Amino acid sequence: MSRVAIYPGSFDPVTRGHMDLVQRACRLFDRLIVAVSTNPSKKHTFSVDARIRMIEESARHLPQVEVDTFSGLLASYLKRKKVRVVIRGLRVVSDLDYEFQMASMNRRLCPDMETVFLMPDEQYTYLASSMVKEVARMGAPPDAFVTAPVARLLRRTFRARK
């Protein structure tokens, strides 16, 4: 039986920290579905298509990774995909509050599922998509924080908006 997990998130955009978790999850599972949330009530910088493309380009070397989108409840998406494991990252202790709440709600909605928390490499503990965008918007090179395809899109996006 193949082991499958879903790694959901906004990925606006995907960072090296997210990709570190993707690599770690690939060592534990046979297939990993990176699921980009399309929640219309959240204001994203990048379109769903752009967010998907950035993950696909960043994960080219990982054949077990599939990129998908979901809207609505994560619990419903898990049931539809018949997957029981969700991957989430814990960078710092302050992440725990929100993650614990979310994992508990998801377990309530879908009692069969488990959330597996992975820690990124410590060099990524401070990384967040929002901060990477701020740095890029203000003209600093984003290359240390995101993969090459993402860095290219960040430069193009923020140069065009100046």
Contact residues: ligand PNS, CB under 6 A: 8-10, 37, 73-75, 102, 105-106
Shorter beta-carbon distance to ligand PNS: residue 21 or 160: 21
Please say whether the dihedral angle defined by the alpha carbons of residues 37, 81, 83 and 77, taken in this order, is positive or negative.
Answer: positive
Question: Residue 152 Cβ, how far from ligand PNS at the closest point, in Å?
Answer: 22
Question: Residue 30 Cβ, how far from ligand PNS at the closest point, in Å?
Answer: 22
Shorter beta-carbon distance to ligand PNS: residue 101 or 159: 101
Shorter beta-carbon distance to ligand PNS: residue 37 or 58: 37
Question: Residue 139 Cβ, how far from ligand PNS at the closest point, in Å?
Answer: 25
Joined tokens for residue 27: 């060592």
Cα–Cα–Cα angle for 20, 25, 30, nearest 5°?
140
* Cα separation, 45 vs 32, whole angstroms: 25
* Active centre residues (catalytic): 18, 42, 91, 129
* Cα separation, 71 vs 27, whole angstroms: 27
* Cα separation, 121 vs 118, whole angstroms: 10
